[in-house]
């Protein structure tokens, strides 16, 4: 395949056949792929190219991850240089890029953290659960603290434990039963407040619900609370400003660790380096992935506060070291690429750009409220959602066919958007998470395409 992004129908057809004959794809029904496929052969900035010559504005940055945009040849050089120097060695030893990356992350977190490297967001959360449990075994041997409190409609990953932590029934159903170690509480999803209340008169009923749950379970059985600062999977739910600080207070009150999932929120997505930095909290465990390398290579990490790190120190005979290892953790090539990715983000002020252009895009999306089907428009930085309803008064969600028709219209008109919600039943939100390099005119194009989609498609 050429690197010119020129259409090549013959190669495209060959790839489609080869793929259909050999590949098992995630989450997409193969019958759908038999009818229509994307064969992505190149990408630059916020644009991706299909082998048939079609260009798409990728308003989802892949899977919420290509934060610095596509086509950064500089990262290819960094990877090549590191492969020549040291392609791999287990992270039981030290290596130059992983050490420098951990120092960079510590600085971005404001200091006082150590980083444990893994390979995906799921693994980062899973390691977080295990670190929380091990910490509790060291610090509270008299207790049996192993439970994680999480929220309904959250998504924390695809392994059994992270799925269990997540609160999306339909994503979990095919793999039941689960361990029961993850206890769910109501999310701060204000548009559909689980208590039927409105902020601020709700007095944060969702935090009270969390406290009731902790007390009901017995605080001495709870290891941690996991929260994504701005929930993405539910269709982007921005909590009230006091929510996260109040959750942190609960954690401190009951000696529970606060585990923050920054897999999507992190690395500028919400207009700050990390989502939790909007709220002035200091989490004990932070899962990072995606934007850490802008997905140029797989890498992720579980970042722990030094008070947690200290619990893993001792004589070898005390057996307090992290009780797990993974082959690729701290991979020098991924680490070198991630480090340069963050340096690019800082040099080009992409976090600031995310805040600024994100609020421009949010304003544009608010103009879509002129369509009766738009129930809510929300977001922070470049993490945004447009929730579609049949009726604004009842908030009845539009059906799966209708939201699919909107997304398909956008795709057929050259803009790729996402869909979110608490599982299929509630998947009635168009989500946007474009590369942080997106321009104002590209934002205009997203709004204009959505406007045409909402004008064209019958949604009642
Ligand atoms: C909030 C959140 N946490 C964790 C994950 C899991 O990350 P990964 O797919 O890299 O395992 C995702 C994936 O989309 C996510 O959105």
Tell me how far apart the alpha carbons of residues 246 and 68 are, in angstroms, rounded to a whole number: 33
Judge whether 291 lies within some domain. Answer: yes
Q: Are 420 and 429 in contact (CB under 8 A)?
A: yes
Confidence check: pLDDT of 387 > 80: yes
Name beta bridge partners: 149.
183, 225
Same domain, yes or no: 148 and 167: yes
Confidence check: pLDDT of 2 > 50: no
Same domain, yes or no: 343 and 355: no
Same domain, yes or no: 36 and 183: no
Mean pLDDT of the chain: 95
* Helical segments of 348-439, H only: 350-366, 400-412
What percentage of the chain carries pLDDT values higher than 90? 92
- Listed residues 347, 373, 389: the one ending a domain: 347
Q: What is the average pLDDT across 79-105? A: 98
Q: Which residues line the pocket of ligand 1, CB cutoff 6 A?
A: 63, 120-122, 125, 155-158, 228, 232, 261, 263-264, 289
pLDDT attached to residue 107: 98
Q: Please count the other Cβ atoms lying within 10 Å of the Cβ belonging to residue 232.
A: 25
User: Which residue has its alpha carbon closest to ligand 1 atom 13?
Assistant: 157
Q: What is the average pLDDT across 57-81? A: 98
Using one digit for the tens of pLDDT, what is the confidence trace for 198-210? 999 999 999 999 9
Q: What is the average pLDDT across 131-155? A: 97
Q: What is the average pLDDT across 28-54? A: 94
Judge whether 129 lies within some domain. Answer: yes
Judge whether 4 lies within some domain. Answer: no
Distance 64 CA to ligand 1 centre (A): 9
Closest ligand 1 atom to residue 125 Cα is: 4
Nearest to 450 by CA among 420, 409, 395: 409
Name beta bridge partners: 287.
261, 302
Same domain, yes or no: 322 and 176: yes
- CATH number of the CATH domain containing 375: 3.90.1150.10
Confidence check: pLDDT of 340 > 50: yes
Same domain, yes or no: 117 and 182: yes
Distance 309 CA to ligand 1 centre (A): 24
User: Which residue has its alpha carbon closest to ligand 1 atom 5?
Assistant: 157
Same domain, yes or no: 395 and 416: yes
pLDDT attached to residue 180: 87
- Environment class of residue 171 by beta-carbon count within 10 Å: exposed (0-12), middle (13-18) or buried (19+)? middle
Judge whether 338 lies within some domain. Answer: yes
Confidence check: pLDDT of 33 > 70: yes
Tell me how far apart the alpha carbons of residues 28 and 50 are, in angstroms, rounded to a whole number: 18
- Listed residues 347, 372, 388: the one ending a domain: 347
Answer with the residue of higher pLDDT: 133 or 460.
Answer: 133
Same domain, yes or no: 435 and 333: no
Confidence check: pLDDT of 378 > 80: yes
User: Which residue has its alpha carbon closest to ligand 1 atom 12?
Assistant: 157
Confidence check: pLDDT of 349 > 80: yes
Tell me how far apart the alpha carbons of residues 213 and 186 are, in angstroms, rounded to a whole number: 10
Distance 452 CA to ligand 1 centre (A): 31
Using one digit for the tens of pLDDT, what is the confidence trace for 248-307? 999 999 999 999 999 999 999 999 999 999 999 999 999 999 999 999 999 999 999 999
Q: Are 25 and 251 in contact (CB under 8 A)?
A: no
pLDDT attached to residue 170: 85
Confidence check: pLDDT of 1 > 50: no
Q: Which residue has the tokens 């690395």?
A: 267
**Mutate-to-test residue for ligand 1 from 263, 298, 383, 433, highest number of ligand atoms within 8 A of CB:** 263
Find the domain containing 427 and state its range: 9-68+350-456
Q: Are 283 and 258 in contact (CB under 8 A)?
A: yes
Confidence check: pLDDT of 3 > 60: no
Judge whether 422 lies within some domain. Answer: yes
Tell me how far apart the alpha carbons of residues 20 and 12 are, in angstroms, rounded to a whole number: 12
Res. 348 pLDDT band, cuts 50 70 90: very high
Using one digit for the tens of pLDDT, what is the confidence trace for 389-442? 999 999 999 998 899 999 999 999 999 999 987 655 668 999 999 999 999 999
Same domain, yes or no: 443 and 361: yes
Q: Are 310 and 297 in contact (CB under 8 A)?
A: no
Tell me how far apart the alpha carbons of residues 206 and 11 are, in angstroms, rounded to a whole number: 54
Closest ligand 1 atom to residue 64 Cα is: 14
Judge whether 3 lies within some domain. Answer: no
Nearest to 65 by CA among 238, 304, 299, 260: 299
Distance 293 CA to ligand 1 centre (A): 14
* Helical segments of 241-382, H only: 243-253, 306-309, 332-347, 350-366
**Cα angle: 395, vertex 397, 399; to 5 degrees:** 155
Same domain, yes or no: 392 and 415: yes
Nearest to 108 by CA among 326, 341, 382: 341
- Listed residues 326, 347, 368: the one ending a domain: 347
pLDDT attached to residue 8: 81
Closest ligand 1 atom to residue 121 Cα is: 7
Distance 398 CA to ligand 1 centre (A): 26
pLDDT attached to residue 423: 53
User: Which residue has its alpha carbon closest to ligand 1 atom 8?
Assistant: 121
Same domain, yes or no: 315 and 166: yes
User: Which residue has its alpha carbon closest to ligand 1 atom 16?
Assistant: 264
Judge whether 2 lies within some domain. Answer: no
- CATH number of the CATH domain containing 98: 3.40.640.10
Q: What is the average pLDDT across 118-146? A: 97
**Mutate-to-test residue for ligand 1 from 123, 127, 156, 270, highest number of ligand atoms within 8 A of CB:** 156
Residues 6+ apart with CB under 8 A from 385: 235, 236, 237, 376, 377, 378, 379, 420, 429, 430, 431, 432
pLDDT attached to residue 363: 98
Closest ligand 1 atom to residue 265 Cα is: 1
Domain count, the chain: 2
Q: What is the average pLDDT across 221-236? A: 96
Contacts 24+ apart (CB under 8 A), 368-372: 368/447, 368/450, 368/451, 368/454, 371/451, 371/454, 371/455
**Mutate-to-test residue for ligand 1 from 289, 292, 334, 420, highest number of ligand atoms within 8 A of CB:** 289
Tell me how far apart the alpha carbons of residues 182 and 186 are, in angstroms, rounded to a whole number: 13
Judge whether 180 lies within some domain. Answer: yes
Distance 397 CA to ligand 1 centre (A): 25
User: Which residue has its alpha carbon closest to ligand 1 atom 7?
Assistant: 121
Same domain, yes or no: 117 and 254: yes
Same domain, yes or no: 81 and 204: yes
């Amino acid at each position: 395949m050429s690197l010119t992004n020129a259409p090549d129908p013959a190669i495209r057809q060959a790839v489609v056949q080869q793929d259909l004959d050999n590949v098992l794809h995630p989450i997409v029904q193969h019958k759908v792929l038999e009818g229509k496929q994307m064969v992505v052969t190149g990408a630059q900035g916020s644009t991706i190219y299909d082998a048939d010559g079609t260009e798409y504005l990728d308003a989802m940055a892949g899977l919420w991850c290509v934060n610095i945009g596509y086509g950064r040849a500089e990262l290819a050089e960094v990877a090549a240089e590191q492969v020549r120097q040291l392609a791999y060695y287990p992270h039981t030893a030290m290596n130059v890029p992983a050490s420098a990356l951990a120092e960079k992350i510590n600085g971005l977190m404001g200091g006082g953290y150590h980083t444990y490297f893994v390979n995906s967001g799921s693994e980062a959360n899973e390691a977080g659960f295990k670190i929380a449990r091990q910490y509790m075994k060291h610090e509270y041997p008299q207790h049996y603290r192993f439970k994680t409190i999480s929220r309904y409609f959250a998504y924390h990953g695809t392994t059994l434990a992270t799925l269990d932590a997540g609160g999306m029934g339909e994503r979990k159903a095919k793999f039941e039963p689960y361990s029961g170690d993850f206890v769910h509480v109501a999310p701060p999803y204000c548009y559909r407040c689980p208590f039927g209340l409105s902020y601020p008169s709700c007095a944060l009923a969702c935090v009270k619900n969390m406290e009731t749950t902790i007390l009901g379970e017995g605080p001495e059985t709870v290891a941690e609370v996991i929260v994504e600062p701005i929930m993405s999977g539910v269709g982007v739910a921005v909590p009230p400003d006091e929510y996260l600080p109040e959750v942190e207070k609960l954690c401190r009150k009951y000696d529970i660790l606060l585990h923050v999932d920054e897999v999507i929120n992190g690395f500028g997505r919400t207009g700050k380096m990390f989502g939790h930095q909007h709220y002035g909290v200091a989490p004990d465990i932070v899962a990072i992935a995606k934007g850490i390398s802008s997905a140029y290579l797989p890498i992720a990490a579980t970042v722990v506060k030094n008070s947690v790190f200290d619990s893993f120190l001792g004589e070898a005979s005390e057996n307090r070291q992290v009780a797990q290892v993974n082959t690729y953790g701290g991979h020098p090539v991924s680490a070198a690429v991630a480090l340069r990715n963050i340096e690019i983000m800082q040099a080009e002020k992409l976090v600031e750009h995310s805040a600024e252009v994100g609020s421009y895009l949010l304003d544009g999306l608010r103009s879509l409220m002129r369509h009766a089907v738009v129930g809510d428009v929300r977001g922070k930085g470049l993490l945004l959602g447009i929730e579609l309803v049949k009726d604004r008064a009842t908030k009845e969600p539009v059906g799966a066919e209708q939201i699919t028709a909107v997304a398909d219209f956008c795709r057929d008109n050259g803009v790729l958007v996402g869909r979110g919600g608490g599982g299929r039943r509630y998947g009635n939100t168009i989500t946007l998470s474009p590369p942080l390099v997106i321009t104002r005119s590209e934002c205009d194009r997203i709004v204009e395409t959505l406007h045409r989609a909402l004008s064209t498609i019958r949604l009642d």
